[in-house]
Structure 1
Amino acid sequence: MAGLLAISAGQAFGDDEQVWAALKRGGMVVLLRHTHVDMREGIAHLAPGNCAEEVNLSARGVEQAKRIGEAFRAHGIAVGEVWTSAYCRCIDTGKLAFGRATPVQYLMPPGVISEPQAKLNQERVLQDILDHRSSSNLVMITHDLNISNIVLEPSIAMGDFFVLQPNGTDFDVIGKIRMGDR
């Protein structure tokens, strides 16, 4: 899909306060990686829906999610819809940070679905970003690869997020907020 903004590894983003100011104006899309989990062997490809068998938020991840919500409130940021992957770690991040979460299938990580489906999902995410015309901020909570494929950043830490501004046929990356290592 045309309009992907290539980001070089050394590109400087706006400072945190500029990013928060953009969010305060509204109309942005937040691509948030779920907060911290303790990865376990042998369960990477489980289907979502059974939280007891999934990789879930660690105690650190629970605190990170709460801090993200506190940061949004402290900056006076209004949040509209909160869409998440169907994995419990994404749903829980949304509920802890923003008090709600709506799972959508196309935010699933590419590694657990077929390659053609992953491509369709990425196109759907891009289209939703481009179609976002609300004055409220849309939050999408998903996985590292999904975010990396959209913003062309090699990796994003758990709990970090990018802020995107749709502009009709493309989007601008306003910046990245690092919450994961705080």
Structure 2
Amino acid sequence: MLDYSNLVGKALIGVVFITSLSSTPVVSSEGDAVLWNSLRAGEHFALLRHAIAPGNGDPTGFELGSCRTQRNLSEEGRNQAVKIGKLFRENRIQTARLFSSQWCRCLETAKLLEIGPVQALSFLNSFFNNYDYREAQTKKLTEWLHEQNLGQPLVLVTHQVNITALTNVYPGSGELVIIRRSKTGEFAVVGTIKTK
């Protein structure tokens, strides 16, 4: 297991980006228990990449709010999302504050978790097809995260590009990235939980 205790957030043009010393963290099953405890204890939150949706990006003719124009969860992805929700409950997180990208694959993932009502946030939307939005969206997300009460578990269902922009972690489908917010507002990746 890699040690991420020495990670610190860096300010860059008013945006806090998380830097890591290596690529995607590797966390053992023993480490998973520590991460779940951290998420329950406060001062931490989870970024969840949507469950399995074959392909990448979105098809030509994509329309927000029209699932038939989007890349959606496969049956395997739906089963994975249900399994992730079960993992939350098995780790004594029955309910969480749950936010999602407006993309159908994220909303469906979030709903299938069954750990609370889902609220859509536009700054969790993918910028895969328009990297010009990366800096502004990441800044807005960072500012929003600084304002959140982490007394109750907080889970954000979003996309690989959004998670990587904030953390430098490249998560797999359905992978959780657990982040600590310090009392001074800095963020640090403490590990990831793979769910497949």
TM-score range, shorter chain: 0.7 to 0.9
- In structure 1, the partner of 2:6 is none
- In structure 2, the partner of 1:48 is 64
1:100 positional shift = 3.0
Query: Which runs of structure 1 show a deviation greater than 4 angstroms over 4 or more consecutive aligned residues?
Result: 10-14
TM-score (norm 1): 0.87
Please, which runs of 5 or more residues in structure 2 have no aligned partner? 1-9
Q: Aligned pair count?
A: 178
**2:100 aligned with 1:84:** yes
**2:164 aligned with 1:156:** no
Aligned counterpart for 1:103 among listed residues 97, 115, 120: 120
**2:41 aligned with 1:25:** yes
Secondary structure of the residue aligned to 2:59 is coil
1:102 positional shift = 1.2
Could you tell me how far apart the structure 2 residues matched to 1:142 and 1:163 are? 14
**2:162 aligned with 1:146:** yes
- In structure 2, the partner of 1:8 is 21
Please, which runs of 5 or more residues in structure 1 have no aligned partner? none
TM-score (norm 2): 0.81
Secondary structure of the residue aligned to 2:47 is strand
Identity %: 24
